[in-house]
Structure 1
Amino acid sequence: MDRIPISKQGFEKIKKELEELKAQRPAIIQAIKEAREEGDLSENAGYDAARERQGMLEARITYINSRMPLFDVLDLDTLGGSRAIFGATVEIEDMDTEETKRFTLLGPDDADHKSGSISVLSPMGRALMGKEVGDEAIVDAPRGRIEYEIVSIQFLGAAGLNIR
């Protein structure tokens, strides 16, 4: 697999999540032990719930551990330029509706559509990557092809994006 871009702040957040997940292991093991001591496991809802929690926890830990070596940690405060790249905040205009949108291009583990960031690997992110102001970006969306024009590109850094 290729390298996965992530901001320094996003990487620290994932490391913290991993530590917190690992810290939950003893409590889950204890819950399983206590549920086992109740007897018949075939109808023991507490045991089933604890085992399910353990499975989900271990799956997330495994997932994060598998991604950690692939991360390409980037400092948002050092990025700049005239092209839409990781860390750029890009304003676009739908050429049909003249509606404008603004996105910050981040990695898949950083991106949060609710806060205005999208993954560089998303269809929109891929269409924007490498473009300059005035360029056209075409996105194949469920409603069909959408043509956008790049209106502006800025690099706000971590502070400007409220990434912590």
Structure 2
Amino acid sequence: MAKFSYYTEEGLNKLKAELNDMKTRGRTEIARQIAEARDKGDLSENAEYDAAKDAQGMHEMKIAKLEEILSNARILDESSIDTSLVAVLSTVKIKNKKNGATLSYTLVSEEEADLKQNKISVGSPIGKGLLGKKVGEMAEIKVPAGVMEFEVLDITRELS
């Protein structure tokens, strides 16, 4: 059974553009490299040709993986999400109970995660630990450094 992943429209469009680029420009570049290596002579002892063929295989594997991701991708209908609970596309303000630091994260799909933009994956330990929580609830989250305790201060959702 396929596992669906939910994306914003922007995130899904970015994945489609990446796939299109890999299928067009990426394949053309690899074909050029193979042709150059083939022109250099005996293929049985041609390391450049072998490397170009390996690169082609890796590239096709990446295309197949991206096609699989897109086949199971769904755009999230943000208007139907319960805003009282932490869910995908929620922006959550949390307080670390140990050091008092407050942080704000938006929970997104794994492919859209970008810590520099405060977007974390719903599949990450913190993302999983926050899902389904309400304002005022505590989340004990097991991370590589041990167990962290966060209080959910606020849940918002910016509808696009």
> Taking structure 2 as the reference length, what is the TM-score of the superposition?
0.88
In structure 1, how many angstroms separate the alpha carbons of the residues matched to 2:81 and 2:18? 26
> Which residue identity is paired with 1:5?
Y
* Structure 1 alignment gaps of length 5 or more: 159-164
State the partner residue of 1:32: 34
Residue 42 of structure 1, CA deviation: 5.0
1:125 maps to 2:127:
yes
Residue 75 of structure 1, CA deviation: 4.6
Matches within 5 A, 1:49-88: 49-76=51-78, 79=81, 81-88=83-90
Aligned length: 158
State the partner residue of 2:156: 154
In structure 2, how many angstroms separate the alpha carbons of the residues matched to 1:78 and 1:113? 26
Report Cα offsets for 1:87-121 as digits up to 9, x if no partner.
11001111111111111001111111221111111
Residue 32 of structure 1, CA deviation: 0.6
Structure number with the bigger relative contact order (C-alpha 8 A, sep ≥ 6) is 1
Q: Which moved more, 1:34-43 or 1:114-123?
A: 34-43
In structure 2, how many angstroms separate the alpha carbons of the residues matched to 1:77 and 1:50? 48
Matches within 5 A, 1:83-102: 83-102=85-104
In structure 2, how many angstroms separate the alpha carbons of the residues matched to 1:41 and 1:65? 32
> Which residue identity is paired with 2:21?
E
Residue 13 of structure 1, CA deviation: 0.5
In structure 1, how many angstroms separate the alpha carbons of the residues matched to 2:99 and 2:68? 42
1:104–1:116 contact (8 Å) kept in structure 2: yes
1:145 maps to 2:147:
yes
Cα RMSD over matched residues? Answer: 1.9
In structure 1, how many angstroms separate the alpha carbons of the residues matched to 2:47 and 2:115? 37
In structure 1, how many angstroms separate the alpha carbons of the residues matched to 2:130 and 2:115? 16
Report Cα offsets for 1:33-54 as digits up to 9, x if no partner.
2211211335534324422331
Identical columns (%): 36
> Taking structure 1 as the reference length, what is the TM-score of the superposition?
0.86
State the partner residue of 2:16: 15
